[in-house]
Structure 1
Amino acid sequence: MLKILHFIFGRMYFQVKGYQTERFLNLCAKNHLVLWELKPVSDGYVFFIRRSSYQMLEALAEKANVDLALQGQKGLPYFLIEHKKRKILFFSMCLCGLMILSLSQFLWEITVSGGEVYSESDILKYVTDNYYHIGTLKYQIDCDALEDHLREDYAEIAWASCSIQGTRLHIEIKETLDRKTKQNPKKPCDIVANKSGIITKMAVKSGTPLVSVGDSVKRGTTLISGLIYYYSDDFTVTQTDKIKADGEIVMRTKEVYNNSIPMEYYEKLITGKKKSIKNLYFGQYQFDFPEKKRQDHTNVMTKRRSLKIGKSFYLPIGITMQITERYKPKKKILTKKEAQLKLKKQLERYLMKKAKAGAKIVHCEGNYKKKNNRYEVKASIIKEESVGKIRNIKKLTKKQEKMITPTTAQQ
């Protein structure tokens, strides 16, 4: 911060020499004159001072009978004086600054992270089609409302966090709610089941539990309510508070896994790779470059690269890169044994992915068979996993209220 201030207000670099340099330094200290980067040299000292302190420095040097020699002047005021005839340069700098300032008020990039069930392109399409698109003014973006919409419209999203970072809207989603998840709502909430199964473990940190271990629940059932009831001695409700429900719920769930592969398929042998610029875009406008006729047996991938300043200050300018891969198709026919081995490896990778996400695989049984020109596997997977998703608080039903009402037998 000091370096920035020194640049804005300017600083001067001096050398002092004479027989009473120590007295001069003592006078500077007595008069609270700040010298920095003070260094001894062969015939005196060198140091920096603020531009505004020059007159006091000159008076103290005269009083101590020492010689001052100006070695240099640095900072914005001297830069402006030195280049005062270059009006076009200053005009361009001001225009560039105003342009960057105006561009910083808009949204130029949307990124998504954390999704497994839902792809980044799915979430981006949902947000841009229904709520915010590139070029939206940042003050019009309501991150809290967008978080609510994402949790309500996507059954598998347990937690969502939206934030404005520079000119970027970053959306982070999580499809499993556990104690390690930092709950993002700024308002009270319930925790509801995002899957059906049997409760095997439950630890409530805050809120009112509406289920217990051993209960069989369906998707959408409220597990922990954000409503807190206070009762009088005669068991009538005297006060109701709303808080953020928090806790960890582990449920035993059952899932049916289906997968199939063709008996005959083509393996791609890559023969070459080529990169090219497909188009140049500015905001929502796109300028396509002439494209060569696409050859047969070619994979095409596109990557969007935006111009940015720093990590999160995106600008509405960029290019779309096109990566093409030529390949040679080679026909292969799977035997029954090879097909089963391939399907088994794909199932194992799927189970490892679930285990990595925190699920405990209790049982898995697969049934392999051939149907028409395909080999299929149907597996029944029983697993224990953390469940729950955040939802805005809903009023309890009479049955739920009766469940949590204290009785004399409980006292």
Structure 2
Amino acid sequence: MIPGFVCLSVTGEQRERFLNLCRGRGMELKRIVLTGEKELQVTMQVRDFFRIGPLRRKTGVHIHILKKRGPLFFLLWCRLHKRLMAGLVMMLLVICFLSTRLWSIQIQGNIMNPTSQLLEFLEDQGISYGMNKKKIHCHALAEAMRREFPEITWVSASLAGTKLSFEIREGNTPPEESEEDAACSLFSEIDGVVERMVTRKGTPLVRTGDTVEKGQELVSGILNITDDSQEVVRYEYVHADADIYIRHKVSYYDSFSRNTEKKILKGKEKKYFFLRIKNLFLDLSWAKKKNEDRVRTEYPFQVTEHFYLPLSAGIITAQEYTLRKETLTEKDAKKQAIFRLHNYEEKLIQKGVQISENNVKIEINHQDCVSSGTLTVTEKTGREAPTEKKTQPKERTPEDG
């Protein structure tokens, strides 16, 4: 029999006699607690509860059910809510089915090969959203990707949950060459003054403080091998390697109009719900108006860290605005010009360029704000190019000495 228990409240003058009669008939009583002068609580099995009717009438006590627990009552609840239980079972079956499919592909570390290009390659390999995970062989995919893209030197593929992840490392992999064929020299890409220089391989042709021109050879890939008398006996060719920093000036010019249009928000924000199921997008918002800003926030459904579902929902926040023409004050125009200059400098710094001096002037007239001048920067250079081969020196004989 399926177990089930009820917690009862027993009140009356003969409550102790009621308990004794129950025990006398072999009923199992648990958790007997005295809660008042004429009240106590007791827990018993459901099958015994249906036998206490004659005992209740004999002792004149009042019985009140406080709690019901146990598998029996859960099954009774399921029987009364068949549709709800059927929906829960169906949902669990759907989740179990979705957990056997691929719903997310993540690629990291790729720079030379765009993600869209790699996804097209995976699609040609039969990898697509919604496919069975059992058909995915990570090792074979990694090998195929390395063969297809020579720039990829290392790739790791892993399948966790419903997400297929690729970690990629890229680099130049030139064909094997002899040391002489691989010899190269370093040339300047800019005009300027050598700020500092560290040579690891090759023969430096300039020193710190020298003025160089664009295209000038800075480090030669030729090493002169000399004898005891410092005469060149042969040439060796190497792949020149050095860190060369050139100080030079960069011209800067920027202008913008003082007459601008400013957005003035009006009315309240309107929020709309949208649903995306794989490539199907269900948008419940109205058509976008002319002067309206929209921000879309999407929340993907993720059961666990690696278990993604092909379903996401989100909110579109829309707000109307009007355009108001206004003229920037000299103070605001100068502030904006400085902000634009700082953005330009930030981009240079991200490229590894060091800025040592700023000679930019800001001029403001009735209509425009103009920034012009130069920036003194230090930039790394060194373009590789093949080394021109020299004829090896003629070997000396004893008679020549």
Normalising by structure 2, what TM-score? 0.47
Which one has a larger percent helix, Structure 1 or Structure 2? 1
- Structure index of larger Rg: 2
Normalising by structure 1, what TM-score? 0.46
